Structure 1
Amino acid sequence: MTKFSELNLNPKVLKAVEEAGYDTPTPIQAGAIPPALEGRDVLGIAQTGTGKTASFTLPMITLLARGRARARMPRSLVLCPTRELAAQVAENFDTYAKHVKLTKALLIGGVSFKEQDALIDKGVDVLIATPGRLLDHFERGKLLLTGVQVMVVDEADRMLDMGFIPDIERIFSLTPFTRQTLFFSATMASEIERITNTFLSNPARVEVARQATASETIEQGVVMFKASRRDREGTEKRKLLRMMIEGEGDKCSNAIIFCNRKTDVDIVAKSLKKYGYDAAPIHGDLDQSHRTKTLDGFREGDLRFLVASDVAARGLDVPAVSHVFNFDVPSHAEDYVHRIGRTGRAGREGKAMMICTPKDEKNFDAIEKLIQKEIPRLDNPLAQAPAETPAPASDEDKAAKPRRTRGGRGRTKHADAAPTETVETTQPAQPEATPEKAADKPTQSDKSRGGNRNRRNDRGGSRDNNVVGMGDHMPSFIAKSFDERRAG
């Protein structure tokens, strides 16, 4: 088995590695460090959590150990997609370069330009930056990239997802053609392949795991969830999350809960705190100082649950995260690999659980297709027992049922209302209709046309003067009076 001492690293770097407690390199480190020390371009593909950061940090420090930086002209450049990942790289640099006199600067958003300009003016050996803030400094005339000897692009596929590829291409054009390029990614999309073919020269390809695979030490599972009502989906989904956490018990020492939208991050964190869980949100809209404080609390164990957007899916290096909960199925299948990669790091065991609603099934199928395995289905803690069949109604129940009234369709008599008496009204007997009168009796269609036609016929004299439209129950005295008038 390869040891760090066999990789031709600077003795001072080896000493720092030993003090950090490492003896054996990971597969990606063992494969990428030797060609990087030879000055070759490197294309590294490995799943998250396998030590890619040290794969470029250790050879970079060894190569830069000799030489001196000039003002505003960094000797090396590390590009990261997020502030958190850039901060992690800076921490790794401090750990492994503590016995080597090298300087660094961290250029990320949320920090004063003035402080960063002061560091650049002194001259730095290593410049660690996000693409947007780096170009801001360049356009302000505070930075020159013509002295870059080693350029590193970390999490290139995340750069693609965040729309940084045009910025990356522009930054490449600002650096010397003779630079050495180290390109690392967990997945290799077609657009990433195009960039590597354009800007890397005969790279050493180091692929230590199948593309877009999760660590075998991570136990995965999914709960297929359907809300009882559409307007209650959010409430029931958050309840399901709490039940899943409770179901893990003491095994869930800490966890990262991922949501797709920033608004959901805030809502879920607030809901968890309401029910007594120690939780805090982190997403791109929060101030950098607040994000740093939250992450430090999670790393130190003061915070149990970190509710995050995908801004935290990359760059979070907390060795002992026991669980990852995907409150939402990620829109991009590759993000699933990075999310669950926050647990089960460095050979540890971890557990990743996800909630999938019917509208997420398309994205869920894409995830299973990408990782080329079926994610085990878990029982839904919210599932209820089948409803009991109601017993047949007794005679008393039938008698107590409300009956339909004659007041109109759909109206029923209230069950608790006092019964009313039924008053029968005796109708006067009507005279039998003679054949002549029967012929003159109005039809139902005549009634529906109303009395206007009857009055019109009376005025025109086209019909006789029989009274029509009085209904089937015309009082006999009215009929009698008209009969007397006609007889006269």
Structure 2
Amino acid sequence: MNRTRRTDGVSGSRFRVQGTSVQGPRPGTGRTTGPGARPTPRRQEFALPVTLTEPLPTARTFAELAMPAPLSAALGAEGVTVPFPIQAATLPNALAGRDVLGRGRTGSGKTLAFGLPVLARLDGQRAQPRQPLALVLVPTRELAQQVRDALAPYARALRLRLATVVGGVSIGRQASVLRGGAEVVVATPGRLKDLIERGACRLDQVAVTVLDEADQMADMGFMPQVTALLDQVPSSGQRLLFSATLDRNIDLLVRRYLHDPVVHSVDPSAGAVTTMEHHLLHVRDADKDTAATEIAARDGRVLMFLDTKHAVDRLVTHLLSVGVPAAALHGGKSQPQRDRTLARFKDGHVTVLVATNVAARGIHVAGLDLVVNVDPPGDHKDYLHRGGRTARAGESGTVVTLVLPHQRRAVDRLMSDAGIAPRTVRIRPGEAELQRITGARPPSGVPVALAEPVDGRREGKGSAGRHHRGSVAARGRRPARGNHP
């Protein structure tokens, strides 16, 4: 097989191509790079089964890129002038119509890296009813909304129409939007499949297809739906595949759907961020709940992850009862409830967002500097994407994991698989070290009222209706079971 030498725009990095090695920033103690760093095992990435095309030079500014004038003006109006590394590397090639395989950590600016070429490609075109011209596939509802929000001002500048197609909201309303015509559809695989089966959407006019967070779609079991959708897209179209990791889970997509892609690897993993600190807090079983409560009561926002919806709802109920403004985000919530919860967290009305893995992708909250794994994640990918909610776009952040005695060995293996060497410390509630790392402090003890039920069910009318502001405990509702994204 022919292999073409490639560069990735990052000094000192090498990408695995047919058995060559991968090297990126070395993990250090606490911070993932820096003085005193020591090497840790890196997970193997697949040997790309493609001929790699020599990339175009990276872009230093957006102004030097060949984009429609209204799009360039919109970037300036938004204060966007200097591209992030993944954008600088991929935009020249994507704008030239090449297929792109891009690896960049979550929060590295991938949305504009694929969004700007999509919009530029469609400038001046108009979609027929039910026949979008570009498709962006994403794994979660939250990520779909984030992508749409990020692209909206630039789409408006070119008078292009965006449609979001996700579960949890009216499929009839979405079908109506598609009948009216939309140049770009941002979709989760399941809902798009349903709309196609209803005859509300066709993909035979799609000229540009984007797969965002491709590894997550594979991990969530969406691969059969994704490939079925890609089989309906013209093979002559442009394909842009972006992911935080490039491992064998997406080998099939690369082999089958990308044509001589230009490969860019920027920020090798979500853990390799110089502004992110990682801490394992060893805690006794009896102290875990109190430690989590004190962390939640800190001055500033925090995102906390637990394994199940039931555990999330219990923690939120407890935090509200001791004076911490908290809200739950999980698969038991309707999409409007999830949207309201995220809005309240972003505007500061809620300071603690407690979530299952449904929030590990697709949430961008500016200035979020602390993520806490109250329950350690099941694998290194979940850890990387949970942690990727902080230290975004060059900001600093801290990821803390509470580790019970029986979890220590498994969590150490997880850290090794993620290529991270965290700081490890034994803590107890009330200790200065816990306060230093997380800002923990005792809660006020004054109960906080809640505008809607913890468990995500609809409220009835009257005194218990949607304007009721009584305490969670007074309702006595039981959490719903299961986790559904």
TM-score with structure 2 length normalisation?
0.74
1:308 alignment partner, one of 336, 351, 355: 355
Structure 1 partner of 2:320:
273
Structure 2 partner of 1:2:
60
How far 1:368 sits from its partner (Å)? 1.7
1:333 alignment partner, one of 380, 402, 410: 380
Tell me how far apart the structure 2 counterparts of residues 284 and 154 of structure 1 sit (CA, whole Å).
Answer: 21
Contact 2:329 2:338 in 1 (8 A): yes
Structure 1 partner of 2:223:
165
Tell me how far apart the structure 2 counterparts of residues 363 and 133 of structure 1 sit (CA, whole Å).
Answer: 36
Please list, as runs of the form range in 1=range in 2, the aligned pairs for 1:433-472 lying within 5 A after superposition.
Answer: none
TM-superposition CA deviations, 1:146-178 (whole Å, max 9, x none): 000000111111111211011111111111111
Tell me how far apart the structure 2 counterparts of residues 333 and 359 of structure 1 sit (CA, whole Å).
Answer: 18
- Tell me, yes or no, if structure 1 residue 49 matches structure 2 residue 107: yes
Structure 2 partner of 1:95:
153
Tell me how far apart the structure 2 counterparts of residues 383 and 142 of structure 1 sit (CA, whole Å).
Answer: 57
- Tell me, yes or no, if structure 1 residue 349 matches structure 2 residue 407: no
Structure 1 partner of 2:337:
290
How far 1:318 sits from its partner (Å)? 0.9
How far 1:284 sits from its partner (Å)? 1.1
Tell me how far apart the structure 2 counterparts of residues 275 and 214 of structure 1 sit (CA, whole Å).
Answer: 36
User: What is the DSSP-based 3-state SS (H/G/I as helix, E as strand, rest coil) of the residue aligned with 2:185?
Assistant: strand
Percent identity, please: 37
Q: What amino acid maps onto 1:319 in structure 2?
A: A
Tell me how far apart the structure 1 counterparts of residues 60 and 391 of structure 2 sit (CA, whole Å).
Answer: 23
User: What is the DSSP-based 3-state SS (H/G/I as helix, E as strand, rest coil) of the residue aligned with 1:146?
Assistant: coil
1:237 alignment partner, one of 272, 288, 299: 288
RMSD between superposed Cα atoms in Å: 1.6
TM-superposition CA deviations, 1:59-88 (whole Å, max 9, x none): 111111122111111000011110000001
Tell me how far apart the structure 1 counterparts of residues 358 and 272 of structure 2 sit (CA, whole Å).
Answer: 19
User: What is the DSSP-based 3-state SS (H/G/I as helix, E as strand, rest coil) of the residue aligned with 1:293?
Assistant: helix
Contact 1:214 1:371 in 2 (8 A): no
- Tell me, yes or no, if structure 1 residue 220 matches structure 2 residue 267: no
Tell me how far apart the structure 2 counterparts of residues 42 and 99 of structure 1 sit (CA, whole Å).
Answer: 25
TM-superposition CA deviations, 1:105-130 (whole Å, max 9, x none): 11111211221111111221001111
TM-superposition CA deviations, 1:83-104 (whole Å, max 9, x none): 0000011111212222111112
Tell me how far apart the structure 2 counterparts of residues 136 and 358 of structure 1 sit (CA, whole Å).
Answer: 46
Instruction: Indicate how the Cα distance of structure 1 residues 244 and 304 shifts in structure 2: closer, same or farther if over 3 A, else same.
Output: closer
How far 1:38 sits from its partner (Å)? 0.9
User: What is the DSSP-based 3-state SS (H/G/I as helix, E as strand, rest coil) of the residue aligned with 1:174?
Assistant: coil
Structure 2 partner of 1:466:
none
How far 1:363 sits from its partner (Å)? 3.6
Tell me how far apart the structure 1 counterparts of residues 205 and 69 of structure 2 sit (CA, whole Å).
Answer: 26
How far 1:263 sits from its partner (Å)? 1.4
Q: What amino acid maps onto 1:368 in structure 2?
A: M
Contact 1:214 1:341 in 2 (8 A): no
2:238 alignment partner, one of 169, 172, 180: 180
Contact 1:225 1:358 in 2 (8 A): yes
Larger Rg: 1
How far 1:362 sits from its partner (Å)? 4.3
Tell me how far apart the structure 1 counterparts of residues 412 and 252 of structure 2 sit (CA, whole Å).
Answer: 27
User: What is the DSSP-based 3-state SS (H/G/I as helix, E as strand, rest coil) of the residue aligned with 1:175?
Assistant: coil
Contact 2:376 2:401 in 1 (8 A): yes
Q: What amino acid maps onto 2:261 in structure 1?
A: P
Structure 1 partner of 2:201:
143
User: What is the DSSP-based 3-state SS (H/G/I as helix, E as strand, rest coil) of the residue aligned with 2:157?
Assistant: coil
Contact 1:80 1:155 in 2 (8 A): yes
User: What is the DSSP-based 3-state SS (H/G/I as helix, E as strand, rest coil) of the residue aligned with 2:368?
Assistant: coil
Instruction: Indicate how the Cα distance of structure 1 residues 45 and 363 shifts in structure 2: closer, same or farther if over 3 A, else same.
Output: farther
2:259 alignment partner, one of 201, 204, 209: 201
TM-superposition CA deviations, 1:394-435 (whole Å, max 9, x none): xxxxxxxxxxxxxxxxxxxxxxxxxxxxxxxxxxxxxxxxxx
Contact 1:156 1:192 in 2 (8 A): yes
The structure with the largest helix share of the pair is 1
Contact 2:138 2:211 in 1 (8 A): yes
Structure 1 partner of 2:91:
33
Structure 2 partner of 1:480:
none
Q: What amino acid maps onto 2:396 in structure 1?
A: E
Contact 1:243 1:381 in 2 (8 A): no
TM-score with structure 1 length normalisation?
0.74
Instruction: Indicate how the Cα distance of structure 1 residues 383 and 274 shifts in structure 2: closer, same or farther if over 3 A, else same.
Output: closer
How far 1:272 sits from its partner (Å)? 1.1
Tell me how far apart the structure 2 counterparts of residues 131 and 303 of structure 1 sit (CA, whole Å).
Answer: 31
Contact 1:223 1:379 in 2 (8 A): yes
Tell me how far apart the structure 2 counterparts of residues 373 and 282 of structure 1 sit (CA, whole Å).
Answer: 27
TM-superposition CA deviations, 1:271-296 (whole Å, max 9, x none): 11111101000011111111110001
Tell me how far apart the structure 2 counterparts of residues 173 and 101 of structure 1 sit (CA, whole Å).
Answer: 29
Contact 1:74 1:124 in 2 (8 A): yes
Q: What amino acid maps onto 2:93 in structure 1?
A: P
Structure 1 partner of 2:127:
69
Contact 2:296 2:352 in 1 (8 A): no
Q: What amino acid maps onto 2:266 in structure 1?
A: V
Tell me how far apart the structure 1 counterparts of residues 68 and 410 of structure 2 sit (CA, whole Å).
Answer: 46
Q: What amino acid maps onto 1:318 in structure 2?
A: V
Contact 1:331 1:363 in 2 (8 A): no
Contact 1:188 1:211 in 2 (8 A): no
Tell me how far apart the structure 1 counterparts of residues 195 and 410 of structure 2 sit (CA, whole Å).
Answer: 39
User: What is the DSSP-based 3-state SS (H/G/I as helix, E as strand, rest coil) of the residue aligned with 2:415?
Assistant: helix
Tell me how far apart the structure 2 counterparts of residues 218 and 18 of structure 1 sit (CA, whole Å).
Answer: 29
Q: What amino acid maps onto 1:304 in structure 2?
A: T
How far 1:245 sits from its partner (Å)? 4.3
Instruction: Indicate how the Cα distance of structure 1 residues 169 and 328 shifts in structure 2: closer, same or farther if over 3 A, else same.
Output: same
- Tell me, yes or no, if structure 1 residue 379 matches structure 2 residue 426: yes
Structure 1 partner of 2:77:
19
Q: What amino acid maps onto 2:291 in structure 1?
A: L
Contact 1:79 1:131 in 2 (8 A): yes
How far 1:383 sits from its partner (Å)? 9.0
- Tell me, yes or no, if structure 1 residue 322 matches structure 2 residue 369: yes
Residue segments in structure 2 that go unaligned for 5+ positions in a row: 1-58, 432-485
